[in-house]
Amino acid sequence: MLTRIPDLKIRLIAVGRLRQIECQRLCEQYLRRLEAYLRCEMIEVRDARLGSADACLAKEAHEILARIETGNQVILLDSRGTERDSPGLARWLAQQQLQATDMVLVIGSSWGVAASVRERSNTTWSLSALTFPHELARVLVLEQLYRAATILAGHPYHHD
């Protein structure tokens, strides 16, 4: 069992600010918990408030892509992506660690993401067929990363 995934760094890039204090606190809590297992940070990209959805997506895409480095593995959170159960996510995370590339998870705005972000993504991940508010999606992503890390470490947080 792994206790720490030392060579893996995950950046969660999300469009918009966390406005709900409860979501802020939960994200902070899971980021603190994750420190015991892997390096993880959350980066907020300002949501565009221009006239059209296309203009907003283009501006947000520019901000997102500016924060992605050449060798990064990019995972787009998208309802059409691959669904994984928690043990499956843990196995997938362990495989990513073997590639020794930093991961970037992207949560777009309520409009989604521009085609340029979708094209830059290596894969897509769906949290569920259900639709979640973007603030709650961040909490769910961080909790699931924490759960996956504890599964890999043999910690009793997750139990079948």
What percentage of the chain reaches a pLDDT higher than 90? 69
What pLDDT does residue 100 have? 61
Segment 139-160 shows an average pLDDT of 90
Contact 42, 14 (CB under 8 A): yes
Are the C-beta atoms of 91 and 43 separated by less than 8 Å?
no
- 3-state DSSP call for residue 132? coil
List the chain domain ranges.
9-153
- In this structure, whether the domain defined by 9-153 belongs to CATH 3.50.50.60 is answered with no
Predicted local confidence at residue 160, as pLDDT? 64
Confidence at 5, pLDDT banded by 50, 70, 90: low
Cβ contact 126:82 at 8 Å: yes
Could you say which DSSP state residue 112 is in? B
